[in-house]
Structure 1
Amino acid sequence: MVNNWLKIIQRNLIPPRCVLCGDTGFADLDLCAGCLGDLPRNLCCCYRCGEPFASELALPSLCGRCLKRSPQFDETYAPYLYRYQMPYLIGQLKFGRDYKNARLLAMLLGEHIAAGAELPELLLPMPLHPKRYRERGFNQSIEIARHLARRFDIPLDFYSAVRSRDTLHQAGLPAKQRLKNMRGAFRLRKTLQADHVAIVDDVMTTGATVSALAGVLKQAGVGRVDVWVCARA
């Protein structure tokens, strides 16, 4: 109750402003209605990896890549495409330490999750290698996951999964090389007491990184692994 009153007071004294154009925010978002409507939605995609389809399909379907070689995770929730203003919103958080974007991205992702996802028992942010964490000073996936954990009242675990190998940046690698690059990249400090886990990340490209982590979770006895990601490249 107290938190709700604080939010109401804050909203009246400092109303949200659009981080893209500076106009008045819409529905408690730091985006106006126009900029929100301009964000590229991932409306028709592979239900397993979130890859967008070229045309709309009537039923949930798998893409050719998942039919040929299924990833280790079970389902992906990726409400937006990594185009237009999404790289800016994610980049400002990731490299500019604009923490309010973590709240915004979590609210956008949370609306998508609330629309129909089966909630997991545990949220697991994508871990950074300690070297990269020291360089960046924080983990953007943890910041996004904090807001989602509060919204859905789900435990957040940013301790158990460890990125044990400092892999090459995935962005410039072909798909096959991405898979090879991620072998042995993750380990668990302890067994997770959950059968259904959702990995939270900012953006997914081919899914090789999150599939490697999901594989470690599955080997440790987790039955189902979903992926919650803000945008799909």
Structure 2
Amino acid sequence: MVNNWLNIIQDKLFPPNCIFCGADGFKSMDLCQHCLEGLALNQNCCYRCAEPFETAASTPRLCGHCLSKPPLFDETTAPFLYRREMRYLITGLKFGGQYKNARLLGMLMARHIESRLELPERLIPVPLHKARYRQRGFNQSIEIAKTLSRELSVPLELNSCIRRRNTEHQSRLPGKQRRKNMNKAFMLNQSIACRHVAIVDDVMTTGATAEALAHTLKQDGVERVQVWVCARA
């Protein structure tokens, strides 16, 4: 209820406009209804890793990789495909410091999640190494997770998990090297003491980052690890 009033006040003082075309925003978002309907949805995908399928199915199913070697995370929610407008929003945030994109991405994810999933006890944004944080000045996963936390009323956990190795950029590596690159990349400096958490990130490609963080969390006793990403590559 508080969030609703805050959104109403903000809309009155600063009416939202579409990031792409400049038209009036839709449902408090910096996105119009026309551009919203043009986003590429990830509707038919593996429920474990969100890898897109070529054909639709009436029931949840697993991809071949998750059948042969199940990841340590339990479920992935990736509402959109990493194409066109979604790629523009994520790269603009990540490499251009467009913070308004984080708010929009968080709101899009929250609207997809709120009526579909059992909410976790904590949201855990994928941490950056301190050297990468100094270079970029912010963590895009935290910025997205702030809006998710506010919209869904799920607390953020920002202090327990750290990235202990300054890993190579995943986008520069092929699949097998991505997994090797993320090996033992994370550690906990204090126990999270939760049964169910959700990892928050901007985009998933191979799932290597989520796998490494889920491994660390489950070693700490977390029973269920969801992965929430804006888009699936």
Normalising by structure 1, what TM-score? 0.96
Counterparts of 1:1-233 in structure 2, within 5 Å, are 4-233=4-233
Query: Structure 1 100/123 Cα, relative in aligned 2: closer, same or farther at 3 Å?
Result: same
Q: 2:3·2:151 contact (CA, 8 Å) conserved in 1? A: no
Structure 1 SS opposite 2:199: strand
Between the aligned partners of 2:188 and 2:13, the Cα distance in structure 1 is 45
Between the aligned partners of 1:51 and 1:140, the Cα distance in structure 2 is 22
Shift of 1:6: 5.0
Query: Structure 1 23/59 Cα, relative in aligned 2: closer, same or farther at 3 Å?
Result: same
| Aligned-pair identity (%) | 61
**Any stretches of 5+ residues in structure 2 without a counterpart?**
none
Between the aligned partners of 2:210 and 2:2, the Cα distance in structure 1 is 38
Letter in 2 for 1:111: R
Moved over 4 A (4+): 1-6
Structure 1 SS opposite 2:26: coil
Query: Structure 1 4/78 Cα, relative in aligned 2: closer, same or farther at 3 Å?
Result: closer
Between the aligned partners of 2:136 and 2:224, the Cα distance in structure 1 is 31
Letter in 2 for 1:65: H
- How large is the RMSD of aligned CA atoms in angstroms? 1.4
CA deviations over 1:177-215 (Å, ceiling 9, x no partner): 111111110100111110101000011111001100000
Letter in 2 for 1:36: L
Query: Structure 1 99/8 Cα, relative in aligned 2: closer, same or farther at 3 Å?
Result: same
Shift of 1:33: 1.0
Between the aligned partners of 1:5 and 1:224, the Cα distance in structure 2 is 33
Between the aligned partners of 1:123 and 1:213, the Cα distance in structure 2 is 13
Shift of 1:73: 0.3
Normalising by structure 2, what TM-score? 0.96
